[in-house]
Structure 1
Amino acid sequence: MWHNIMRDNIENILQKEEFDFKDIVALLQAEGKEQKLLFAKAQEVQLKHVGKKVFFRGLIEFSNVCSKNCYYCGIRKDNKKVDRYNLNDEEIIAAARFAHENKYASLVLQSGERSDQHFIERVDELLQKIKEITHNEIGITISLGEQSDETYRRWFRSGAHRYLLRIETTNEVLYKQIHPEDDEHDFENRLRCLNAIKEIGYQTGTGVMVGLPWQTYADLANDLLFMKKMDIDMCGMGPYVEHHDTPLFENKDILWPIKTRFSVTLNMIAVLRILMKDINIAAATALQAIDPMGREKALRVGANVIMPNITPSTHRKDYQLYQNKPCIDEGADDCGDCLSLRIEMAGREVGLGEWGDSKHFLNRKE
């Protein structure tokens, strides 16, 4: 009886033009037949508004040196068990050239967080060099954490045009539970940075972890409403997968079961696709750490971006933000071929040779 009532509720909710907070909380808890209804609606919206194409973002994790000490992260500054590395410029340029030659059309530069002058200048020079060697034919997303407005402007001028800065959670109390409480880990500064990125003109991306200790469905519903209110252009969110060399690992016994974290992440993607019909949504690699078909499942319920790892394989094992990260022993060719096959298995098309900019961003600019 309860399931029939729940299904009626889900069906009624999915027919609405707009979801309120209670609607989203109900949708995020959908399971079984109710979840299938949600996924069918999300797929309908996806195909209508962004189509079947899935865009590649060649991921270069060029350094695991980090100034932050986030309690959930495997490359946090105080983790002494990590072998630190910093790719040289030639290795980064070679990876960018690989992305260009293989028609990925876009790449992501990602590293541990630093804001020292040497780092800022180095990234600036790398952006200009990548644009030069690819004849300005490659799109660049950067995910390099909190910086000053001037740094964001400088990198934007040098060729980066998308920026991903995950808020991780919009619940300030929870944010403080998963970060040290100091000037380096300030919730208000995180929000300031996101607003600055958007004002400067980047396609703005954020995201959250799903299934953190102490996190509730209400928190996740508020996260989605925050993204809609902020009018983001792209999103990258994945399940929280614990890392045993982090302080948050001590709370592993209060976590949702790993399958629940996976299922609710798919619900988050599906609901966000319905809420924000034309944004770009990434199929997070962390999904594949839980389910071998995790990224394909995300593509079927709303995701339209995937990130083949083109970091030199000798260093992939050293960039583990969480345990059991997949594909750390693959070469760049293997990763791209594998993901192309996964996209086709999900009933989608590989959007090679296109930047795949956020339609939401482009529509807003018109």
Structure 2
Amino acid sequence: MLNLIQYREDCVKESVGFYRLKITIGTYERVKKMYRYIRTFILILPLLFIFTILFNNITKGKDINPDKCMKCHEKIYMKALSNPYRHTVATEDCALCHIIRNSDTGRGKSLKFSTFQSENILYLGKLDEDKKYRMEVTATDSAEKSSEPAVIAIDPEKIWEYQGKLQTLQELYGVKVDEVRKRSFVHATISWDTNAFATTEIEYLSKGRYPYRFSMDNSYTKAHKIVLRDLRHKRRYRFSVISRDIYGNILQSGEYIIDTSKEFSHLNKPLENDLPYPFISLMRVFKINGKEGFYLRVSANKPSEILVRLNEVEQLDIRHGRGFVSEKFLKIDICYKCHPPDASHPVGVKAKGDKVKTPDDLPTIQGGIITCITCHKPHGGERTYFNRFDFRKDLCIKCHIEEDYL
């Protein structure tokens, strides 16, 4: 009897052992199969990642705007993608640089007035009196702090017309050089005052050079300031300032000297963190009896640059959204949205002079005016800063013909 019991126990042990072995073998096979799946997935993952990047880059352009830029401009887009050094904004948002972008659906325009004064009268130009407009005004101070946009609706048929006569220009005084700063080129700040709202203009030259003239024609103020950014080191410039009121009366100062051999500043500059944000305290659109166009009287709590966005209220059915930006905005102004103006060679000036020529094989605008695009490829290129040529020499001698550059 005991032997029978022992035999049954041995059989049970053998049976359990067999099933344990079977389970162990089955588990091993499943693990082995899972390992093969994992190994295959690891090998495929980098390929999927690379494909995702390429596919995303190729199709990203199709989502830039509803006009489907890729449909007509695929060659340009693919060339931008192939550049060793890419200008990422060029492949991510075509409309940012090329298309007018305003808050309204109607056609609009942007006007920037860089007088950096608190009180201004700004010329808006002619407006279609059969249409209504929405105007948005923003003030930005020297520390690049911006006000909240001030918005008004404009009906040209109902604009108030100034029946009297604004104060006329009779005095120009207080001309002084406030600051000379040395950068790649010398920057000089000149200021003066007038008794009436008038333009801000300056004429300057150095020995043996043609005179240069810089003006802000469409903005009128009583306190005037101009920054000249393209002066040479260790030179003396003669200059005179000019102001012209709305009625065409002109005053010009005597002759003054800018000496760029020494750096100085008479400006009181508070710390940026201590500066209040600008805000618009007064804004009024008006007409002047006997004058064409519309004017904007705007006041801010501090000297500021004024940006005016003027849009038609009604929607327009245009293939390219609200239309293309101007050539100057496309090739100069839009660049300043990311890059500071003093980080580059002066732009907006003609490549013309005794030892300067207009480049034959570089793009310029309006009869030889240098832009950012003159020296840099807008969509990226073969060099770090998208230079069209080697900036250490080859690029410079496209315009400069002095011996120092050759």
Q: Same fold (TM over 0.5)?
A: no
Tell me the TM-score normalised to structure 1 length: 0.26
Where relative contact order (Cα < 8 A, 6+ residues apart) is larger, the structure is 1
